[in-house]
Structure 1
């Protein structure tokens, strides 16, 4: 924070007034995470921590913030028998802004805290979880500074392992300074403070170190020693450092507004990724300290009124933002009808429209409502499942079900049977008891409801314009509001069919019933089988060529069984028995090939071999931006048809690739076909939860998230403006 910094007092960080495990702002994504690999039992120590992911050029502060700023504060609400320790602070970095210097953190940092489970912890016989509540406050700065806060809730299973964030806690442990057995000596004299430290690592000998004193308002932050300073032979000047007989020493000037006179203080020394900490005992008398500035009662009252007004404004804005999010969700669901994912469902919709002449106006309206109910209930079910799994620690996004080979195989089987039904090879009514068939015929609304369920099953891999932002917004909301967003998306998807069932003029636009309906029915079967081709291709990305071939063999076996069951009674018994037995043997022999996940493990990205495109990896974007190189990231998956459409029509065009090359843009492809927590986290930072997502990163600017449907001309114009 520099001399021209401005504070936005009272600005809240949360997108929701209710608590969750994640708080997202424009500057920081804050998440409460935990590490309890052995469960939660009395006598154990588990770890929790606030993970802060900063947008480029933004930072938060260490326990000594330097010339200005405030350290992050954590206030815990824990059950009886659970006690929180202090923050195990990572080693900070010196952040220079003009003539000032701050001590803090950029990029992604974790503030870990140990929780001690004492014998007094009594969860109760029916308790399944330990609920951890946190109220956190942090100050995030660039040139301006924004106070932010959030309420977090995390439930840890008592008797099972919580270790999904083991890597983050291990990295935090490595980033924390190691205790140094020898105490340091600090001598106060006319030049300020002379610090001497012995017992440092041998590899550090003769090198310039970074020095951080934990006591605020004690020493001058800009003049504190750092690794950019040269090692002096005689450190008489303030801010210099030297080595002599294995002892490191430095001259550290006092802060102009020094308000502390400690007899000992903590000091952290670092070089590269290594750091140590020790206590320095002070010898000599401190000069008289400056009086600590106090805030007048009038200013305190003004600040409190400012914060209250800001909170009320935010609450009003949050309500308005939720209403706009609902409207955007309805519009996104409506546009979803135009996405390639939904094309297979058009077969069922068109046939439904064409057959409506057989039903009364009331029956048509009932079917429209039933179809809408099927769509909305399915959206709510998928959204609720995703929210529940994410609350349990799973890193999931929209379309997560198509990262499962079992779900893909099930959908392929369903569409194979639907195609056979449309072709007339298999009639569901012939397989049902007479009473059931009668019920089905008397209640065509059940068919409409199931059609709505099928529409969501096929449409869920895609996101449409307005839909991606709504999904990302919903993830950060409390469950009731988030489910409202999912319901609005379902309403938008079902809206055309609902209107057509209630507005006769729309139905009159269709041609009159006739022989063409049977031809159309047979043609639609090929659309179903085209969907099967796509699903087999998606499975090939997960289970390899053996998995795809095994699924095709199993689908062929199912088709033979269906054919055998349609034969006359005499031959049906023989062929049906043989085909069912052969199918059972086939399932036992090759079924495991369909369900396995081959190749890359969770958390890794596939390597792309498409010319200029390179595989995305965590930290790769920041590394390229640090070199001054713009970056374009294609977040994609094999099961996302819109992604494949954009790839063929825009991203692989020679003129588009030439535009990227002219501006030396690094092209990265993040493949989310397999479940990849790193990619999920990157999407969450962008406020997205589904695909496709296209992001243009430019050094010194905020990332630009582009439309889900790419236009070559617009993309080239954005690149040309770099």
Structure 2
């Protein structure tokens, strides 16, 4: 980028030196091959001691452009060298708000058509009345289409000097047009926060409604402070704007203020209203909004609060329900126990949750150090992991059904509360709760996880442990305050029936995971899973039936049962891994949605190229990043995205619907998630019509009305 800028400057100097670009100073308009320029004034005469506004008015031929003060990825700004009478002085150029000029991957900032660059010139107090005030200017610009050409003109303007109170005459019409396009000082408070390569700019804008925004873009005053071509993802909530930006090559970590121009385009009853504001945002903490702003926009303290809230809400998500039902039964069992016993079970369960989250954080750190791009729920992208969790939930279901038991308790359910196995069961329940919670994403979690995955290792561990604490919080509170347990039902024979009933949610979860496996590894993967479950069921039955036999029978039964379980695990591992490879080769990368039943709302598979092509056509685009193992994603599709109202709105608005399937690892999707500060799915984006329109980030929990509002159809 810098090479283009430097080359253009060299060409400009050489061309100017040869005299090919500039005629002598001329009154009135001067035309080059691409631009007609002239000096105009805010009055037809000057007054001694006062200031007059001079404008450089340019009319650029169609399809060509010149540049703003920050030209973007390439180009050079217009420069004006003034020659003025003694005692006179000229201020800096007052730049109108620019436009974005995209050329392939390059993003430039500049002007097309007519533009007037204004400068305030002070007239000396001793300027002789009745004389002339000559203004001379040597002006250089770079004008570009597919090629760039440096041009230079020399312009002059002679204005009479009149006494104070005399008639100075009207302003040239181009002056008023130039002033109307100048940014005004922002009436809103703003702040920015940078971390790593991400930067969040927050602006408090009361009265600004998300559904009225056509486009928002922030133009930094200085070259290289921001990545000019990077998307500026937008979130608006209750009159608060947050733009997710990327820092540029010249960004300084100790930057005290981010200066630039914010251009806001709002839809009104009369069309689109464009406003430009000067922004000077000091450095400060930027917290995320409920609309799903990237996690890098929040501070450490806010990330911890969001993690705690996200973990607490996870308890209400459908993927955690089966395990919570087991803990509810365990709480009933504990209700009449000694308070110390209840507390120990609470600590054991919490320890299991925290140990699991710490292990998950350690694995994420190791994978990041190895250069892997990973996120929340990443382990479910492995068909082997999906298969093993399906086996685990199936085995827990068999235990709850009474097919087999281990010691006096499995997962904290049963008698012998003071026995060591009971505490081990509570610990295991915490581990299981963590495993089945990872396919779910709760509100607040996206921001916290995005922050954690981009933060140093100690911060990542802290956020993950607080998330685990949120998941365990309801149970630990009940354990620490045993009087609350008195509100639960009394223990009785109903508990055994309820325990057996809880097996069915476990079986249901196992079935769902086999379905996920079918999307990852095809029919052969399903065959491996079902065969493994048959072996596990046989192993459980054999273990239980021989447990009361003599030593030989017990050892034989236990040994055969262990071999059957081992065969299920090893055979499933080999078959699932091989089946995934063969399924991918056979389907050519078919997504989960493509292999399943057709949805109510037609969609196409996401790719960066497909998104770019649709946007180049000027079509609005809705992008759904999802995964088959993401319960939150599936619920959103059932209750909102696949509803007839949404399908009709997409058809009526000619909105293209893209679905990015993250069921298996996909680098392009992982990079897109990271671009918006997300570490996992779901992520929902709406790109309004127009290649330059900025995407709107939708909430993680969708409703029909919310979608219609965000796409401008509600």
TM-score (norm 2): 0.58
2:631 & 2:96 partners in 1: Cα distance? 40
* Partner residue of 1:640 out of 616, 626, 630: 630
Contact 1:344–1:527 (Cα < 8 Å) also in 2: yes
Gap runs ≥5 in structure 1: 1-59, 69-93, 107-140, 146-170, 176-218, 230-238, 240-251, 257-304
Where in structure 2 are the equivalents of 1:257-656 lying within 5 Å?
309-310=256-257, 314=283, 321-429=299-407, 441-442=419-420, 444-568=422-546, 569=549, 592-596=574-578, 597-598=580-581, 599-600=583-584, 606=591, 608-609=593-594, 610=598, 612-656=602-646
Contact 1:328/1:470, CA 8 A, preserved across alignment = yes
2:68 and 2:98 in contact (8 A); partners too = no
- What CA distance in whole angstroms lies between the structure 1 residues aligned with 2:564 and 2:469? 44
Q: d(CA) in 2 for partners of 1:223 and 1:594?
A: 60
Give how far 1:686 is off. Answer: 0.9
Question: Whose Rg is larger?
Answer: 2
CA–CA distance in structure 1, aligned partners of residues 312 and 96 of structure 2: 40
Paired with 1:472 and 1:479, the residues of 2 have a C-alpha distance of: 13
Alignment correspondent of 1:262: none
SS of equivalent residue, structure 1 residue 547 = helix
Give the Å deviation of 1:322.
1.8
CA distance in 1 between counterparts of 2:96 and 2:516 reads 44
DSSP 3-state at the match of 1:648: helix
For each residue in 1:578-601, what CA deviation from the matched residue of structure 2 results, as whole angstroms up to 9, or x when unmatched? Answer: 776677777777752223323337
Instruction: Determine the structure 2 residue equivalent to 1:104.
Output: 73
- Deviations 1:69-120, CA, capped at 9 Å, x for gaps: xxxxxxxxxxxxxxxxxxxxxxxxx9946678946279xxxxxxxxxxxxxx
Give me the whole-angstrom Cα distance separating, in 2, the residues matched to 1:444 and 1:578: 27
Q: Give the corresponding residue for 1:681.
A: 671
Structure 1 residues 718 and 586 mapped into 2: Cα distance closer, same or farther (>3 Å)?
closer
1:665 is aligned to 2:655: yes
Offset from partner CA, 1:415-468 (integer Å, 9 cap, x none): 122112111221101799xxxx99982363332222111111100111111111
1:376 and 1:487 in contact (8 A); partners too? yes
Alpha-carbon separation, structure 2, partners of 1:370 and 1:455: 13
d(CA) in 1 for partners of 2:703 and 2:335? 40
What residue in structure 1 maps to residue 116 of structure 2?
A: none
Which of 675, 680, 695 is matched with 1:703 structurally?
A: 695
**2:58 matched to which residue of 1?**
none
Q: Is the 8 A contact 1:67 1:221 kept in 2?
A: no
**Cα pair distance change 1:452/1:627, threshold 3 Å:** same
For residues 372-417 of structure 1, the C-alpha deviation after alignment (integer angstroms, 9 at most, x for no partner) is 2222232222123113212321111111111112212221221122
Pair 306,656 (structure 1): closer, same or farther in 2 beyond 3 Å? closer
1:671/1:421 CA distance change after superposition, 3 Å:
same
What is the CA distance between 1:685 and its match in structure 2? 0.5
Deviates more, 1:639-648 or 1:601-610: 601-610
Structure 1 residue 675: deviation in Å?
0.8
Q: 2:706 aligned to 706, 710, 714, which one?
A: 714
Offset of residue 306 of structure 1: 13
CA offsets 1:593-637 (integer angstroms, 9 cap, x no match): 223323337996728443611000123323322322211111111
The answer on whether the counterparts of 1:605 and 1:670 sit within 8 Å (CA) in structure 2 is no
Distance 1:587 1:498 in 2: 34
Aligned residues of 1:66 and 1:221 also touching (Cα < 8 A)? no
Change (3 A) 1:65 1:552: farther
Match of 1:226 among 132, 143, 146: 146
Residue 478 of structure 1 and its aligned partner are, at CA, apart by 1.4
- Which 10-residue stretch deviates more, 465-474 or 615-624? 615-624
Q: Are residues 316 and 653 of structure 1, via their aligned partners in 2, closer, same or farther at CA, if it must alter by over 3 Å?
A: closer
Shift in alpha-carbon separation, 1:438–1:527, aligned structure 2, 3 A: closer
SS in 1 for 2:608: coil
CA separation of 1:104 and 1:420: change in aligned 2, threshold 3 A: same
Q: Which residue in 1 is equivalent to 2:224? A: none
Give how far 1:712 is off: 1.2
C-alpha distance in 1 between matches for 2:66 and 2:324:
58
Name 1:193's counterpart in structure 2: none
Question: What's the counterpart of residue 27 of structure 1?
Answer: none
Contact 2:528 2:576 in 1 (8 A): yes
Q: Is the 8 A contact 2:696 2:710 kept in 1?
A: no
Match of 1:692 among 682, 689, 702: 682
Residue 64, structure 1, aligned to residue 49, structure 2: no
Unpaired segments ≥5 residues, structure 2 = 10-62, 76-94, 107-138, 155-251, 259-280, 288-296
User: What is the distance in 2 between the residues matched to 1:660 and 1:688?
Assistant: 25
Q: 1:382 to 1:603 in 2, by over 3 A?
A: farther
Structure 1 residue 477, shift from structure 2 partner: 1.4
* Distance in structure 1 (CA, Å) of the matches to 2:422 and 2:568: 36
| Structure-2 separation of matches of 1:352 and 1:333 | 21
Shift of 1:664: 1.3
Q: Deviations over 1:352-391 (max 9, x none)?
A: 2111125311221222223222222322221231132123
Aligned partners of 1:605 and 1:616 also within 8 Å = no
- Aligned partners of 1:493, 1:714: CA distance in 2, in Å? 28
Q: Distance in 1 between matches of 2:484 and 2:590?
A: 47
C-alpha spacing 1:65/1:95, structure 2 compared with 1 (3 Å) = farther
TM-score, reference length from structure 1: 0.57
Q: Work out the CA distance in 2 between the residues paired with 1:306 and 1:502.
A: 45
CA contact 1:638–1:644 (8 Å) conserved in 2: yes
Judged with a 3 Å threshold, the aligned counterparts in structure 2 of structure 1 residues 542 and 95 are, in CA distance, closer, same or farther, namely farther
Q: Aligned pair in 2 of structure 1 residues 62, 578: CA closer, same or farther (>3 Å)? A: same
1:446–1:549: structure 2 CA closer, same or farther, 3 Å change rule? Answer: same
**Whole-Å separation in 2 of the counterparts to 1:503 and 1:440:** 18
Aligned Cα root-mean-square deviation (Å): 4.2
- Work out the CA distance in 2 between the residues paired with 1:97 and 1:603: 46
Number of aligned residue pairs? 463
> Would you say the 8 A contact 2:345–2:426 is kept in 1?
yes
Tell me, yes or no, if the aligned pair for 1:422 and 1:522 is still in contact at 8 Å: yes
Give distance in 1, aligned partners of 2:324 and 2:611.
40
Cα deviation digits, residues 476-532 of structure 1 (max 9, x gap): 211212222212211111111111212335322321111111111000011111111
| Inter-partner Cα distance in structure 1 for 2:588 and 2:362 | 24
Instruction: Report SS of the residue matched to 1:635.
Output: strand
Q: Distance in 2 between matches of 1:491 and 1:220?
A: 63
Taking the aligned partners of 2:446 and 2:430, their CA distance within structure 1 comes to 21
How many angstroms apart in 2 are the aligned matches of 1:386 and 1:368? 27
Q: CA–CA distance in 2 between the matches of 1:614 and 1:503?
A: 53
State the Cα distance separating 1:706 from its structure 2 match.
Answer: 1.8
1:123-272 superposed matches below 5 A: 222-223=142-143, 226=146, 239=149, 253=151
SS at match of 2:665: coil
Shift in alpha-carbon separation, 1:322–1:306, aligned structure 2, 3 A: closer
1:474 and 1:481 in contact (8 A); partners too: yes
